[in-house]
Structures are given as structure tokens and as C-alpha cells.
Amino acid sequence: MYSFKMERAESLTSALERFGDSDDAVYLAGGHTLIPAMKQRLRAPEDVIDLSGIPGLRDILVTQDGIEIGAMATHAAVAGSAHVKTHIPVLADLAGGIGDRQVRNRGTIGGSIANNDPAADYPAAVLGLDARIVTDRRTIASGDFFKAMFETALEPDEIIRAIQFPKIERAAYLKFPNPASRYAMVGVLIACISDEVRIAITGAAPSVFRAADFEVALSESFSESSISELTLPSDTMNDDIHASADYRAHLCKVLIGRGVQMLSDH
């Protein structure tokens, strides 16, 4: 790790100011990607602006039409929240399966989605549950947020304040972990939102994506048989020593099928 300057911001305004004053600043949310990258000298920011002191960013609130989760809420806080467990149980499950206990106590939802790691879990929840990302300056729809591997719609200095999720009881998240890293090699979030089925897949491709054909078929008839003839294209899938693109495409379908089964039993 190279030496750097660290400051704790007291407000969103001061965080933005400090970011603007620096030639090379980065926000620190949970730090579970940033700190390892800095330790390996892959990143070397001059200024690290810690967001953990900003009031209100950790709140988990029930709103009229859903749950609003502060960007600095840890994975453990989301997993353990009574509100989340009651109104969006799949989100509590997903958060409780991220990393290990240490990671869950430091890592944050805002940090995770701002980073948009292709193998992270939260992007599947945000896209699959059709959440809205509320920043210091605007609200971004889930479909507009994730752009590419490690790329989002956020401006360089933009800070996520909260993520607004609709209340959804009928949803499941199925993760096939990479045996080594335990990140999602394939993670499928499947949600039934009134008559519509949404499927978001993380881990399999450079960025989270929706399985449109499967959504249409399952929206018409929510059964395994309705998707038996469908396949996912492997040419857009990741390919590495742990799983070829073909195998990832296959796993996506297996997990979708299992999710349909779980939600049908439910």
C-alpha cells in the first residue's frame, strides 16, 4: 500500500467538497474491494474520503411502497433487519450469504453496487427487484445503473445515499459460488412482481443482466416446463479456469429452474 491521506467526511456536502478539492480522491464505503486493491498497490489514490461518519446513511426505513436502505448499511445490518426480513425476505437472504462474517460486518450495500463487481451479489438484487438508486443529486432506475464491468451510471464524484426496494415476498436468490473465492460464479435472482417475472443474473457475464426470454416465458406460465427449450447464449459469458462460458450458461439455466421450483413450492 502506498501512503495516502484519509479523511472522514461529516456530511454529504463536505464529502463532495473534499472530493472536488482533490486531484485523485476515492470514497471509502466498506472498503472490501478498495482496501485489498490498495494493499496490492493496484490502486493508489492520494485522498481517501471515508463516508462512515455521515449521519443517516445507515438507516433502513419502511416507506409507503417499500424499504429504503441507506447506502452505508452493512450486509449484516441488511441481513438482520426485521423490516427487510418481513417485506423483502430474499434480500435478507442474499445479504446474509455475502462473503463471510467479517466481510458482512464491514461491507456496505452502496459500496457494493457502486463498485459493480461482476461477481457481486447485490447487483442481482438491485436489478432483479427493480430498485431505485438515490444519489446526492438524482434517482437512477435499476435498469440504467449498471453499465459494464466495474462501471455504473454514477458521476465520478456522485455519492449513493440510499437504495429503494419495492416490497416483494415472492422471490429467490440462488448462488453457485466460485469454489475458490466464494464469489458468485453464477447468481440468479428471480422475482415475481405481481404478474411480471424478473430475472437478474450476476457472476456469469461481465456485468449483471436480465434473462429476457426466460422472463417472458415465465411471466406467461410460471413453470419449469415453460423454459425447458430455452437456453442462454454462452458467447457473452465469462470464461476462466473455474468455469467455461458453456458451463456458466448451463448453470444459469439450472439455477433459474431451481428458483422456479422453489417459488412454485412456496
Nearest approach, Cβ of residue 31 and another protein (Å)? 17
Nearest approach, Cβ of residue 254 and another protein (Å)? 5
- For residue 263, give the C-alpha cell: 417459488
Nearest approach, Cβ of residue 30 and another protein (Å)? 18
Length, in residues, of the chain = 266
Closer CB to another protein, residue 126 or residue 174?
174
Closer CB to another protein, residue 40 or residue 225?
40
Nearest approach, Cβ of residue 55 and another protein (Å)? 35
Closer CB to another protein, residue 13 or residue 181?
181
Closer CB to another protein, residue 229 or residue 241?
241
Nearest of 71, 64, 54, 204 to residue 135 by alpha carbon: 71
Q: Which residues contact another protein by CB under 8 A?
A: 2-3, 40, 176, 179-181, 183, 241-244, 247, 250-251, 254
Closer CB to another protein, residue 176 or residue 209?
176
Nearest approach, Cβ of residue 10 and another protein (Å)? 30
Closer CB to another protein, residue 109 or residue 243?
243
Nearest approach, Cβ of residue 115 and another protein (Å)? 15
